[in-house]
Amino acid sequence: MSLRLSRRLRGPESGYYWFLLFLFLLAFFPIGAAAGIYSAFYLRFGTELLIFGLFALSVDIIMGYTGLVSLGPAAFFGIGAYAGALTLIKLANSIWLALFVALAMSGVVAWLIGYLSIRIKGVYFAMLTLAFAEMFHELAFNWQSFTGGSDGLTGVPRPEIGIPPFGLSLSNPYVFFYFVLSVVILVYYGCVRLVNSPFGRILQAIRDNEERAEFIGYDIRVFKRRSFVISGIIGGLSGSLFALLRFVDPDVLHWLTSAEVLVMNLFGGMGTLYGPMIGAIVFLYAKDFISSYTEHWRIILGIIFVAFVIYSPQGIVGLSRNMRAKVLPMLKALVFWTVKRNTRESLSPVLGESNPSSQKKPFREPE
């Protein structure tokens, strides 16, 4: 009993911290680019992977931890991107102001969408979030004078990070990588704390059994809405970082963006926080890798993806857990069996047992 209790009190699962360690180790990544082991392109690519990891993380909070299937996470990504870029272009060249506006906008929109759509459940909720995201897509597409229409916003200025003695410009890819990495580490750690806090437990209770959580006395709509807003704000943050990395066009609001981030979540393993981030990294890397060899990358990715859905619904994280749970004991047994057999064979001349099957006859046949 005391053993089980202590295990329960141990807090977050160790995987969370292994991934945090991994994120810290990524700080060494730019050294390779600086030393010329790989080109500076990979530094930008690595930054993009981190940004999409953040986006996938935001979806995990709402989908993996609260159990709400939202088909429109691109809305927050896109709003964050547009709000950040528009602030930089039209208001002031300040990263902090841009991030503040992006987070505030995506938070407000998330609250509004959440307020309207969390009243209804299941497929209806999913479709409503999709519809809202598509509305924003249409808006960005048609509001030519403000959003630049289908051309998007080009020439987003790269601001300086205003820490008084140093003037570091985000146009420097190294500075930008470390900036994104530190944001990702902070948000990831915050999310680990969040999902293991009492608030996070309530979200998981809602995911596991909504009626029961309601009967205990929680106002589940309020908690769902809060979770939706948190997810939206993180999504907006990732979008505004993306706007600083590349340009903004209506594609960031397209439903394919939502679909891709859902794919990343499933690919990595929902409800683990680090799973979706691994999923984002693997998905985008696989996409880049396959598309550099063949034009038909979508068919290969599609087949891998379908195989994952059918055979490993828990994603890469689940696969590795399965490996530990099933394959590892099997391997151990195999090794043990081989060793045992070999030892017996090598020992048999000593023991004088030429035929091992003679052992299996415990009694003599009647004469």
Partner 1 sequence: MKELTSTKTFVNILVLMGVCVGLAWLILYQILPKMTLKIAFKQLLNGLTLGLMYVIIASGLSLIFGLMEVINFAHGALYMLGAYFGLTFFKLTGNFWLSLVVAPIVVGVVGMMLEYSTFRPLYGRSPLYHILLTFGLVLIIGNAAEMVWGKAYHIFPRPKGFEGMVGFLGIAYPTYRLFVLAVGVAISVFFWFMLKKTRFGLIIRAGTHNREITSAFGIDISRYFTLVFGFGVAIAGAAGVLMAPILSVHPHMGDGIVITAFIVVVVGGLGSLSGAALAGILIGILESFSVILFPAFTGAMMYMVMVIVLLVRPQGLLGIEEIR
Assess 353 for contact with partner 1 (CB under 8 A).
no
Assess 141 for contact with partner 1 (CB under 8 A).
yes
Assess 301 for contact with partner 1 (CB under 8 A).
yes
Assess 130 for contact with partner 1 (CB under 8 A).
yes
Tell me the three state secondary structure of residue 163: strand
Assess contact for 183 and 54: CB atoms under 8 A.
yes
- Say which residue the tokens 């943050």 belong to: 237
Assess 131 for contact with partner 1 (CB under 8 A).
yes
H runs (alpha helix) in the chain: 2-9, 14-25, 29-35, 40-59, 74-86, 95-117, 122-142, 144-147, 173-195, 198-208, 210-216, 220-245, 255-268, 274-293, 297-311, 315-322, 328-351
Interface region with partner 1, contact rule CB under 8 A, candidates 190-198, 220-228, 258-266, 346-354: 258-266
Assess 316 for contact with partner 1 (CB under 8 A).
no
Assess 302 for contact with partner 1 (CB under 8 A).
yes
Tell me whether residue 46 or residue 249 sits nearer to partner 1 (CB atom). 249
**Residues 6+ positions from 8 with CB-CB distance below 8 Å:** none
- Measured distance CA(211)–CA(111) in Å, rounded: 23
DSSP letter (8 states) at residue 56? H
Tell me whether residue 161 or residue 259 sits nearer to partner 1 (CB atom). 259
- State the minimum distance, in angstroms, from the CB of residue 120 to partner 1: 4
- Measured distance CA(68)–CA(226) in Å, rounded: 12
- Measured distance CA(173)–CA(171) in Å, rounded: 6
Assess contact for 140 and 250: CB atoms under 8 A.
yes
Residue type present at position 350: V
Closest listed residue to residue 61, CA positions, set 253, 308, 237, 234: 234
Interface region with partner 1, contact rule CB under 8 A, candidates 27-35, 85-93, 230-238, 300-308: 300-308
- State the minimum distance, in angstroms, from the CB of residue 303 to partner 1: 6
Assess 255 for contact with partner 1 (CB under 8 A).
yes
- State the minimum distance, in angstroms, from the CB of residue 109 to partner 1: 14
Assess 319 for contact with partner 1 (CB under 8 A).
no
Residue 96: HSE in the Cβ half-sphere, 13 Å Cα cutoff:
3
Tell me whether residue 29 or residue 111 sits nearer to partner 1 (CB atom). 111
Q: Which of residues 155-214 bind partner 1 (CB under 8 A)?
A: none
Assess 82 for contact with partner 1 (CB under 8 A).
no
Assess 112 for contact with partner 1 (CB under 8 A).
no
- Measured distance CA(77)–CA(84) in Å, rounded: 11
**Considering only residues 120, 186, 222, 335, which one is a binding residue for partner 1 as defined by CB under 8 A?**
120
**Considering only residues 31, 112, 119, 339, which one is a binding residue for partner 1 as defined by CB under 8 A?**
119
Tell me whether residue 21 or residue 303 sits nearer to partner 1 (CB atom). 303
**Considering only residues 52, 55, 77, 132, which one is a binding residue for partner 1 as defined by CB under 8 A?**
132
- Measured distance CA(264)–CA(309) in Å, rounded: 12
What DSSP string runs through 309-359? HHH-TTHHHHHHHHIIIIIHHHHHHHHHHHHHHHHHHHHHHHHT-S-GGGG
Assess 128 for contact with partner 1 (CB under 8 A).
yes
- State the minimum distance, in angstroms, from the CB of residue 122 to partner 1: 6
- State the minimum distance, in angstroms, from the CB of residue 126 to partner 1: 8
**Considering only residues 180, 263, 273, 277, which one is a binding residue for partner 1 as defined by CB under 8 A?**
263
**Considering only residues 12, 91, 93, 138, which one is a binding residue for partner 1 as defined by CB under 8 A?**
138
**Considering only residues 83, 98, 262, 281, which one is a binding residue for partner 1 as defined by CB under 8 A?**
262
Number of residues located near partner 1, criterion CB under 8 A: 39
Assess 69 for contact with partner 1 (CB under 8 A).
yes
Tell me the three state secondary structure of residue 244: helix
**Considering only residues 31, 34, 40, 309, which one is a binding residue for partner 1 as defined by CB under 8 A?**
309
Backbone angles phi, psi at 323, to 5 degrees: -60, -45
Q: Which of residues 280-299 bind partner 1 (CB under 8 A)?
A: 296, 298-299
